[in-house]
Amino acid sequence: MTSRTSAGVRRHGDGPLLRALSSIPALGYLLVLMVIPLGLVIAYAFLTSGRFGGVQGPVTFDNIARLFQPLYLEVLLSSVVNAGLATFFAFLIGFPAALAITRLSSTWQTVALIAVVLPFWTNFLIRTYAWILLLNREGILSDGLSLIGLGPIEVLYTREAVILGLTYAYIPLMVLPIYASLQRLDPVLLEAACNLGAGPWRRFRTILLPLTMPGIITGCLFVFIPSLGNFVIPELLGGGNSQMIGNLIRDQFLKSRDWPFGSALSLLVLALLVIIVMIQASAARRSRKWGA
């Protein structure tokens, strides 16, 4: 893929020296903010914790072995389930929303897109805190349901509240990539399918879904990855009833002063995400092949 696109994009007259120079900022960025920190995390995972945090000798595999205790695997599993459900609900709401936006006039599309990203203008913690006020037993949701005889209900400090919070927090990251791929979709294809007698479900399944799949996968990753590592929402909306892997890692660094085990947990999450991104990359390759 790289050879084809870069050959296509490259402008004539750019010497190899210029190209090498222009890649320095990116390489420096990768080295300082990615390679070195990652190397440190890997190294820390095999060391012993110091009294006030930090790391010291000797080298040990204990931290890696501890990862396989059922307690930590259960936390990881429940984090994956929470993040997966949040991604699923974000898709369920985000896809129709993106589709609806593409049907608007271009002025209204701009307005709708601003509305989608508008919540990002408010601090993430404050938006999450607002949910506490909505969801608690004396809150608007419970009171509202009480009025019609369905309440009061207990939502705050449950796993459902955490999933709701994650879905809410990251849904714009689902809508935007799907919207972008819907934009690129040639409406003629849908018209042709319609003229040839394909019903709405068939048009969705055979045209809309496959052709927007790259956007959907990107959106799913954008929601899943930050959800998996989130520790603010489980703490504020889960009330400690729904611990996620992010909380566990945070606690190793800021409460247990166990940087080595925190690093080992981070590597576990990283390994999981690498696998997921590899699956996504191979899926994207396949869908490009279909496109051609």
Partner 1 sequence: MATHRTRARRASVLGIAGAVGAVLLAACGGSSSGGDASPSPSLDPNADLSKQSIVVSNWDAYMDPDVALKFTDTTKANITVAKHATNEEIVGKLTAGGDPGIDVAFVSGQYAQALNEAGLLEPIDPRLVPNLANLYPESKNLAFDPGNTFSVPYAWGTTGICYREDLMASPPTSWNDLLNPAPEYEKKTLMLATQPWLNLPAAKALGFSANTTDEGELEQIKQQLLKTKPTLLGFDDVTFYSRLAAGEVVMAVAWDGWCNYAGDPNVKFVVPSEGADLWADTMVVLKSSKNKEAAMAYINFMIGDEMQSWMTNNILYKSPNKAVAEKAAAELGADYPNIAMTPADLAKGEGLIDLGPAAKIYQQIATEVQAS
d(CA 190, CA 196): 10
Is residue 151 involved in binding partner 1 (CB under 8 A)? no
Nearer to partner 1, 193 or 245 (CB): 245
The binder of partner 1 chosen from 94, 172, 214, 238 (CB under 8 A): 238
Nearer to partner 1, 203 or 257 (CB): 257
d(CA 196, CA 209): 18
d(CA 119, CA 255): 31
Is residue 138 involved in binding partner 1 (CB under 8 A)? yes
From residue 68 to residue 97, the character string flagging contacts with partner 1 as x (rule: CB under 8 A) and all else as - is ---x--xx--x-------------------
Please give, one letter per residue, the 3-state secondary structure of 134-203: HHCCCCHHHHHHHHCCCCCCCCCCCHHHHHHHHHHHHHHHHHHHHHHHHHHCCHHHHHHHHHCCCCHHHH
From residue 104 to residue 123, the character string flagging contacts with partner 1 as x (rule: CB under 8 A) and all else as - is --------------------
HSE at residue 251, side-chain half, CA atoms within 13 A, is 10
- For 60, the 3-state DSSP assignment is coil
The binder of partner 1 chosen from 110, 146, 183, 241 (CB under 8 A): 241
Q: Are 220 and 202 in contact (CB under 8 A)?
A: no
d(CA 267, CA 163): 24
Is residue 257 involved in binding partner 1 (CB under 8 A)? yes
Considering only the stretches 164-172, 182-190, 209-217, 246-254, report the one whose residues sit in contact with partner 1 under the rule CB under 8 A: 246-254
d(CA 219, CA 132): 27
Is residue 62 involved in binding partner 1 (CB under 8 A)? no
Nearest CA to 230 out of 250, 216, 253 is that of 250
Nearer to partner 1, 14 or 154 (CB): 154
The binder of partner 1 chosen from 41, 42, 46, 53 (CB under 8 A): 53
The binder of partner 1 chosen from 59, 240, 290, 292 (CB under 8 A): 240
d(CA 133, CA 101): 30
The binder of partner 1 chosen from 243, 266, 268, 269 (CB under 8 A): 243
The binder of partner 1 chosen from 247, 260, 266, 267 (CB under 8 A): 247
From residue 157 to residue 176, the character string flagging contacts with partner 1 as x (rule: CB under 8 A) and all else as - is x-------------------
Nearer to partner 1, 137 or 203 (CB): 137
Q: Name the amino acid, one letter, at 70.
A: P
Binding site for partner 1 (CB under 8 A): 49-56, 71, 74-75, 78, 125-126, 129, 132, 136-138, 154, 156-157, 231-232, 235-236, 238-241, 243, 247-248, 250-259
